[in-house]
Protein backbone atom coordinates (compact mmCIF):
# COMPACT_ATOMS: atom_id res chain seq x y z
CA UNK A 1 0.00 0.00 0.00
CA UNK A 2 1.43 3.37 -1.07
CA UNK A 3 2.16 5.82 1.74
CA UNK A 4 0.53 9.23 1.26
CA UNK A 5 3.11 11.97 1.76
CA UNK A 6 1.91 15.19 0.10
CA UNK A 7 -0.52 17.58 1.74
CA UNK A 8 -2.80 17.62 -1.29
CA UNK A 9 -3.04 13.82 -1.37
CA UNK A 10 -3.71 13.73 2.39
CA UNK A 11 -6.54 16.25 2.11
CA UNK A 12 -8.00 14.28 -0.78
CA UNK A 13 -7.83 11.11 1.34
CA UNK A 14 -9.61 12.75 4.28
CA UNK A 15 -12.33 14.17 2.02
CA UNK A 16 -12.72 10.77 0.35
CA UNK A 17 -13.07 9.01 3.72
CA UNK A 18 -15.57 11.62 4.91
CA UNK A 19 -17.63 11.16 1.76
CA UNK A 20 -17.45 7.38 2.03
CA UNK A 21 -18.51 7.54 5.69
CA UNK A 22 -21.48 9.76 4.88
CA UNK A 23 -22.63 7.52 2.03
CA UNK A 24 -22.12 4.43 4.20
CA UNK A 25 -24.11 5.87 7.13
CA UNK A 26 -27.04 6.61 4.84
CA UNK A 27 -26.82 3.36 2.86
CA UNK A 28 -26.75 1.06 5.89
CA UNK A 29 -30.06 2.53 7.10
CA UNK A 30 -31.72 0.37 4.46
CA UNK A 31 -30.36 -2.88 5.94
CA UNK A 32 -31.97 -4.84 8.74
CA UNK A 33 -34.68 -7.39 9.53
CA UNK A 34 -37.22 -5.02 7.89
CA UNK A 35 -35.63 -3.74 4.70
CA UNK A 36 -36.38 -0.19 3.58
CA UNK A 37 -35.77 0.94 -0.02
CA UNK A 38 -32.79 3.27 -0.28
CA UNK A 39 -34.90 5.91 -2.03
CA UNK A 40 -37.25 5.99 0.94
CA UNK A 41 -34.28 6.33 3.29
CA UNK A 42 -33.06 9.43 1.45
CA UNK A 43 -36.60 10.85 1.45
CA UNK A 44 -37.07 10.28 5.18
CA UNK A 45 -33.74 11.95 5.97
CA UNK A 46 -34.54 14.88 3.67
CA UNK A 47 -37.90 15.35 5.39
CA UNK A 48 -36.29 15.28 8.84
CA UNK A 49 -33.87 18.09 7.91
CA UNK A 50 -36.74 20.28 6.73
CA UNK A 51 -36.88 19.65 2.97
CA UNK A 52 -40.27 19.39 1.29
CA UNK A 53 -40.54 15.91 -0.25
CA UNK A 54 -43.44 13.65 -1.17
CA UNK A 55 -43.87 11.03 1.55
CA UNK A 56 -44.50 7.71 -0.23
CA UNK A 57 -43.39 5.58 2.72
CA UNK A 58 -45.24 4.25 5.72
CA UNK A 59 -45.07 5.60 9.27
CA UNK A 60 -43.49 2.31 10.30
CA UNK A 61 -40.61 2.78 7.84
CA UNK A 62 -40.10 6.34 9.05
CA UNK A 63 -40.00 5.14 12.66
CA UNK A 64 -37.51 2.39 11.83
CA UNK A 65 -35.16 4.64 9.85
CA UNK A 66 -35.21 7.80 11.97
CA UNK A 67 -35.84 6.64 15.53
CA UNK A 68 -34.15 3.23 15.57
CA UNK A 69 -31.49 2.89 12.87
CA UNK A 70 -30.22 6.45 12.46
CA UNK A 71 -29.11 6.95 16.10
CA UNK A 72 -27.68 3.41 16.10
CA UNK A 73 -25.58 4.09 13.00
CA UNK A 74 -24.42 7.43 14.40
CA UNK A 75 -23.47 5.82 17.71
CA UNK A 76 -21.60 3.08 15.83
CA UNK A 77 -19.60 5.67 13.91
CA UNK A 78 -18.79 7.59 17.10
CA UNK A 79 -17.77 4.45 19.03
CA UNK A 80 -15.58 3.27 16.16
CA UNK A 81 -13.93 6.67 15.84
CA UNK A 82 -13.42 7.02 19.59
CA UNK A 83 -11.93 3.56 20.11
CA UNK A 84 -9.60 4.08 17.16
CA UNK A 85 -8.40 7.37 18.68
CA UNK A 86 -7.83 5.69 22.04
CA UNK A 87 -5.86 2.85 20.45
CA UNK A 88 -3.71 5.26 18.41
CA UNK A 89 -2.84 7.33 21.49
CA UNK A 90 -2.12 4.32 23.71
CA UNK A 91 0.13 2.72 21.11
CA UNK A 92 2.10 5.96 20.96
CA UNK A 93 2.58 6.55 24.70
CA UNK A 94 3.37 2.89 25.39
CA UNK A 95 5.46 2.49 22.22
CA UNK A 96 3.78 -0.88 21.76
CA UNK A 97 1.92 -1.72 18.53
CA UNK A 98 -0.22 -4.28 20.39
CA UNK A 99 -1.71 -1.80 22.87
CA UNK A 100 -5.41 -1.04 22.86
CA UNK A 101 -8.01 -0.20 25.54
CA UNK A 102 -9.20 -3.80 25.71
CA UNK A 103 -5.75 -5.33 26.23
CA UNK A 104 -4.60 -2.65 28.69
CA UNK A 105 -7.54 -3.22 31.01
CA UNK A 106 -9.19 0.16 30.37
CA UNK A 107 -12.33 -1.40 28.90
CA UNK A 108 -12.56 -3.89 31.78
CA UNK A 109 -12.35 -1.08 34.34
CA UNK A 110 -15.05 0.86 32.51
CA UNK A 111 -17.22 -2.28 32.39
CA UNK A 112 -16.77 -2.78 36.15
CA UNK A 113 -17.92 0.76 36.91
CA UNK A 114 -20.89 0.46 34.56
CA UNK A 115 -21.98 -2.91 35.98
CA UNK A 116 -21.87 -1.51 39.52
CA UNK A 117 -24.28 1.24 38.48
CA UNK A 118 -26.61 -1.05 36.56
CA UNK A 119 -26.86 -3.67 39.30
CA UNK A 120 -26.51 -1.78 42.57
CA UNK A 121 -26.26 2.02 42.43
CA UNK A 122 -28.87 3.01 39.85
CA UNK A 123 -29.13 6.41 38.16
CA UNK A 124 -27.83 8.48 41.06
CA UNK A 125 -27.15 11.53 38.82
CA UNK A 126 -29.48 10.76 35.93
CA UNK A 127 -28.16 10.16 32.43
CA UNK A 128 -24.57 10.86 33.53
CA UNK A 129 -24.48 8.04 36.10
CA UNK A 130 -23.33 5.30 33.75
CA UNK A 131 -20.67 7.35 31.86
CA UNK A 132 -19.28 8.77 35.13
CA UNK A 133 -18.99 5.34 36.76
CA UNK A 134 -17.41 3.89 33.60
CA UNK A 135 -14.90 6.77 33.45
CA UNK A 136 -13.94 6.28 37.11
CA UNK A 137 -13.52 2.56 36.48
CA UNK A 138 -11.43 3.15 33.35
CA UNK A 139 -9.21 5.72 35.07
CA UNK A 140 -8.80 3.49 38.14
CA UNK A 141 -7.82 0.49 36.03
CA UNK A 142 -5.27 2.59 34.14
CA UNK A 143 -3.72 3.79 37.41
CA UNK A 144 -3.56 0.19 38.60
CA UNK A 145 -1.91 -0.97 35.38
CA UNK A 146 0.68 1.83 35.59
CA UNK A 147 1.45 0.96 39.22
CA UNK A 148 1.96 -2.71 38.36
CA UNK A 149 4.01 -2.01 35.23
CA UNK A 150 6.35 0.64 36.71
CA UNK A 151 9.80 -0.68 37.53
CA UNK A 152 12.45 1.57 39.02
CA UNK A 153 10.62 4.67 37.84
CA UNK A 154 10.60 3.40 34.24
CA UNK A 155 7.66 2.25 32.16
CA UNK A 156 8.56 -0.53 29.74
CA UNK A 157 6.10 -1.26 26.95
CA UNK A 158 6.21 -5.06 27.32
CA UNK A 159 5.65 -4.87 31.08
CA UNK A 160 2.78 -2.45 30.50
CA UNK A 161 1.03 -4.83 28.11
CA UNK A 162 1.46 -7.80 30.44
CA UNK A 163 0.24 -5.75 33.40
CA UNK A 164 -2.78 -4.66 31.37
CA UNK A 165 -3.72 -8.24 30.52
CA UNK A 166 -3.33 -9.31 34.16
CA UNK A 167 -5.38 -6.40 35.53
CA UNK A 168 -8.02 -7.02 32.86
CA UNK A 169 -8.44 -10.61 34.04
CA UNK A 170 -8.75 -9.50 37.67
CA UNK A 171 -11.32 -6.82 36.88
CA UNK A 172 -13.36 -9.14 34.70
CA UNK A 173 -13.35 -11.66 37.55
CA UNK A 174 -14.88 -8.96 39.77
CA UNK A 175 -17.45 -8.18 37.07
CA UNK A 176 -18.40 -11.85 36.82
CA UNK A 177 -18.68 -12.05 40.61
CA UNK A 178 -21.06 -9.08 40.62
CA UNK A 179 -23.13 -10.72 37.90
CA UNK A 180 -23.23 -14.02 39.76
CA UNK A 181 -24.37 -12.45 43.02
CA UNK A 182 -26.75 -9.91 41.46
CA UNK A 183 -30.43 -10.15 40.61
CA UNK A 184 -30.80 -12.77 37.89
CA UNK A 185 -33.48 -10.86 35.99
CA UNK A 186 -31.20 -7.83 35.71
CA UNK A 187 -27.98 -9.73 35.04
CA UNK A 188 -29.29 -11.27 31.81
CA UNK A 189 -29.59 -7.84 30.19
CA UNK A 190 -26.22 -6.78 31.65
CA UNK A 191 -24.53 -9.86 30.18
CA UNK A 192 -25.93 -9.02 26.74
CA UNK A 193 -24.70 -5.41 27.17
CA UNK A 194 -21.20 -6.65 28.07
CA UNK A 195 -20.95 -8.54 24.78
CA UNK A 196 -21.09 -5.19 23.00
CA UNK A 197 -23.93 -3.70 21.02
CA UNK A 198 -25.51 -0.50 19.77
CA UNK A 199 -29.14 -1.32 20.51
CA UNK A 200 -29.31 1.27 23.32
CA UNK A 201 -28.75 4.15 20.90
CA UNK A 202 -31.31 6.95 21.20
CA UNK A 203 -31.22 10.53 19.95
CA UNK A 204 -31.36 11.85 23.51
CA UNK A 205 -28.05 10.14 24.47
CA UNK A 206 -26.02 10.33 21.24
CA UNK A 207 -24.92 13.91 21.93
CA UNK A 208 -22.70 12.80 24.83
CA UNK A 209 -20.36 10.46 22.88
CA UNK A 210 -20.36 12.96 20.00
CA UNK A 211 -19.16 15.72 22.32
CA UNK A 212 -16.53 13.47 23.93
CA UNK A 213 -15.16 12.25 20.58
CA UNK A 214 -14.85 15.81 19.25
CA UNK A 215 -13.15 17.02 22.45
CA UNK A 216 -10.95 13.91 22.56
CA UNK A 217 -9.81 14.36 18.97
CA UNK A 218 -9.04 18.03 19.60
CA UNK A 219 -7.10 17.27 22.79
CA UNK A 220 -5.05 14.51 21.14
CA UNK A 221 -4.27 16.75 18.16
CA UNK A 222 -2.93 19.34 20.61
CA UNK A 223 -0.71 16.58 22.06
CA UNK A 224 0.28 15.24 18.63
CA UNK A 225 3.81 16.69 18.60
CA UNK A 226 4.46 15.18 22.01
CA UNK A 227 3.15 11.81 20.82
CA UNK A 228 5.50 11.97 17.83
CA UNK A 229 8.43 12.71 20.12
CA UNK A 230 7.51 9.97 22.57
CA UNK A 231 7.35 7.42 19.75
CA UNK A 232 11.05 8.11 19.16
CA UNK A 233 11.93 7.39 22.78
CA UNK A 234 11.85 8.98 26.21
CA UNK A 235 15.21 10.73 25.78
CA UNK A 236 14.17 12.20 22.44
CA UNK A 237 10.98 13.55 23.97
CA UNK A 238 12.90 15.14 26.86
CA UNK A 239 15.45 16.71 24.50
CA UNK A 240 12.56 18.28 22.54
CA UNK A 241 11.10 19.79 25.71
CA UNK A 242 8.35 17.27 26.49
CA UNK A 243 7.84 15.65 29.86
CA UNK A 244 7.06 11.99 29.25
CA UNK A 245 5.32 11.59 32.61
CA UNK A 246 3.09 14.64 32.15
CA UNK A 247 2.29 13.74 28.54
CA UNK A 248 1.30 10.20 29.51
CA UNK A 249 -0.90 11.54 32.31
CA UNK A 250 -2.77 13.82 29.89
CA UNK A 251 -3.20 11.01 27.36
CA UNK A 252 -4.37 8.52 29.99
CA UNK A 253 -6.97 10.98 31.34
CA UNK A 254 -8.25 11.69 27.83
CA UNK A 255 -8.38 8.03 26.78
CA UNK A 256 -10.00 6.97 30.06
CA UNK A 257 -12.76 9.55 29.60
CA UNK A 258 -13.37 8.48 26.01
CA UNK A 259 -13.34 4.79 26.83
CA UNK A 260 -15.62 5.23 29.84
CA UNK A 261 -18.29 7.13 27.90
CA UNK A 262 -18.17 4.78 24.91
CA UNK A 263 -18.21 1.58 26.96
CA UNK A 264 -21.14 2.86 29.04
CA UNK A 265 -23.24 3.14 25.88
CA UNK A 266 -22.00 0.25 23.73
CA UNK A 267 -20.53 -2.31 26.10
CA UNK A 268 -17.04 -3.72 25.81
CA UNK A 269 -16.20 -3.75 22.08
CA UNK A 270 -12.67 -5.03 21.74
CA UNK A 271 -9.85 -4.84 19.21
CA UNK A 272 -11.07 -1.81 17.22
CA UNK A 273 -8.35 0.27 18.86
CA UNK A 274 -5.79 -2.41 17.99
CA UNK A 275 -6.57 -2.89 14.30
CA UNK A 276 -7.54 0.50 12.94
CA UNK A 277 -4.38 2.49 13.87
CA UNK A 278 -2.26 -0.04 11.95
CA UNK A 279 -4.44 0.39 8.87
CA UNK A 280 -4.17 4.18 9.17
CA UNK A 281 -0.36 4.06 9.50
CA UNK A 282 -0.16 2.09 6.27
CA UNK A 283 -1.90 5.03 4.59
CA UNK A 284 -0.40 8.16 6.17
CA UNK A 285 2.55 7.09 8.33
CA UNK A 286 3.12 7.71 12.03
CA UNK A 287 2.85 11.53 12.18
CA UNK A 288 -0.02 11.96 14.61
CA UNK A 289 -1.47 15.18 13.26
CA UNK A 290 -2.26 13.17 10.14
CA UNK A 291 -2.74 9.80 11.77
CA UNK A 292 -5.41 10.72 14.32
CA UNK A 293 -8.10 12.05 11.92
CA UNK A 294 -7.58 9.17 9.49
CA UNK A 295 -7.76 6.62 12.33
CA UNK A 296 -11.02 8.16 13.53
CA UNK A 297 -12.58 8.01 10.06
CA UNK A 298 -11.44 4.43 9.42
CA UNK A 299 -12.68 3.35 12.85
CA UNK A 300 -16.09 4.88 12.17
CA UNK A 301 -16.30 3.16 8.77
CA UNK A 302 -15.22 -0.17 10.21
CA UNK A 303 -17.76 -0.28 13.03
CA UNK A 304 -20.64 1.00 10.88
CA UNK A 305 -20.24 -1.94 8.51
CA UNK A 306 -19.55 -4.48 11.27
CA UNK A 307 -22.84 -3.39 12.83
CA UNK A 308 -24.61 -4.09 9.54
CA UNK A 309 -23.31 -7.66 9.67
CA UNK A 310 -24.31 -7.93 13.34
CA UNK A 311 -27.95 -7.05 12.68
CA UNK A 312 -28.40 -9.01 9.44
CA UNK A 313 -26.49 -12.30 9.90
CA UNK A 314 -29.01 -13.85 12.31
CA UNK A 315 -31.95 -11.49 11.69
CA UNK A 316 -34.36 -10.77 13.28
CA UNK A 317 -32.03 -11.26 16.28
CA UNK A 318 -29.06 -8.96 16.88
CA UNK A 319 -25.63 -10.57 17.00
CA UNK A 320 -23.62 -8.77 19.75
CA UNK A 321 -21.16 -6.59 17.89
CA UNK A 322 -18.38 -7.41 20.35
CA UNK A 323 -18.42 -11.02 19.12
CA UNK A 324 -17.76 -9.91 15.54
CA UNK A 325 -14.97 -7.48 16.46
CA UNK A 326 -13.38 -10.05 18.79
CA UNK A 327 -13.28 -12.65 15.99
CA UNK A 328 -11.77 -10.22 13.48
CA UNK A 329 -9.45 -8.65 16.06
CA UNK A 330 -8.19 -11.99 17.34
CA UNK A 331 -7.08 -12.99 13.85
CA UNK A 332 -5.49 -9.57 13.36
CA UNK A 333 -3.68 -9.88 16.70
CA UNK A 334 -2.25 -13.28 15.68
CA UNK A 335 -1.07 -11.80 12.40
CA UNK A 336 0.68 -8.95 14.23
CA UNK A 337 2.42 -11.36 16.58
CA UNK A 338 3.68 -13.42 13.66
CA UNK A 339 4.97 -10.30 11.90
CA UNK A 340 6.78 -9.08 15.05
CA UNK A 341 8.41 -12.48 15.46
Residue 171: pLDDT above 70?
yes
Q: What residues contact 339, with CB distance under 8 A and at least 6 apart?
A: none
Looking at per-residue pLDDT, the higher value among 324 and 124 belongs to 324
User: How do residues 55-102 score in pLDDT, each as one tens digit?
Assistant: 778 888 888 889 989 999 999 999 999 999 999 998 888 887 777 787
Mode of pairing for the β-strands spanning 154-155 and 150-151:
antiparallel
> Which band of pLDDT confidence, cut at 50, 70 and 90, is reported for residue 341?
low
Q: Which of 239, 241, 217 is nearest to 290 (CA)?
A: 217
Q: Which of 144, 152, 155, 153 is nearest to 104 (CA)?
A: 144
d(CA 99, CA 101): 7
d(CA 111, CA 176): 11
- Average pLDDT for 306-322: 82
Residue 172: pLDDT above 80?
yes
Three-class DSSP category at 340: helix
Looking at per-residue pLDDT, the higher value among 184 and 157 belongs to 184
Least confidently predicted of 73-82, 89-98, 234-243, 304-313: 234-243
- Average pLDDT for 131-141: 86
One CATH from 3.40.50.450, 1.20.1250.20, 3.40.50.720, 1.10.3470.10 for 62-340: 1.10.3470.10
| Domain-wise residue ranges, the chain | 62-340
d(CA 81, CA 92): 17
CA distances from 222 to 100, 135, 216, 244, 278 (A): 21, 22, 10, 15, 21
**Residue 56: cis peptide before it, omega within 30 degrees of 0:** no
Residue 138: pLDDT above 80?
yes
Looking at per-residue pLDDT, the higher value among 307 and 154 belongs to 307
- Its pTM stands at 0.88
Residue 126: pLDDT above 80?
no
Q: What integer pLDDT is reported at residue 2 of this predicted model?
A: 63
Looking at per-residue pLDDT, the higher value among 2 and 200 belongs to 200
User: How do residues 29-45 score in pLDDT, each as one tens digit?
Assistant: 988 888 888 888 888 88
Contact 103, 274 (CB under 8 A): yes
Residue 296: pLDDT above 90?
yes
Q: What integer pLDDT is reported at residue 157 of this predicted model?
A: 65
Q: What integer pLDDT is reported at residue 1 of this predicted model?
A: 56
Least confidently predicted of 108-117, 204-213, 307-316: 307-316
Q: What integer pLDDT is reported at residue 107 of this predicted model?
A: 83
Q: Which strand (E) or helix (H) includes residue 155?
A: strand 154-155
Q: What integer pLDDT is reported at residue 191 of this predicted model?
A: 79
pLDDT over 70, % of the chain: 95
Our CA dihedral for 206, 200, 198, 32, rounded to 10 degrees, sits at: -110
Contact 83, 262 (CB under 8 A): yes
Amino acid sequence: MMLIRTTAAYRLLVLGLLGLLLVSCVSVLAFGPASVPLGNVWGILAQQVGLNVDADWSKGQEHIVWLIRAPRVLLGALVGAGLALVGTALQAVTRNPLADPHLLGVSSGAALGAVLVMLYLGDFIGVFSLPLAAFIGAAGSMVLVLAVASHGGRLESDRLLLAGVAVSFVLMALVNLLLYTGDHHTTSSVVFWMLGGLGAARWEVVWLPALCVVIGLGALLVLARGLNALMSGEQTAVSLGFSGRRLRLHVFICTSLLTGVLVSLSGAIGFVGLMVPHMARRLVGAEHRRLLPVSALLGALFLVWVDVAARTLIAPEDLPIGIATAAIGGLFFIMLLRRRR
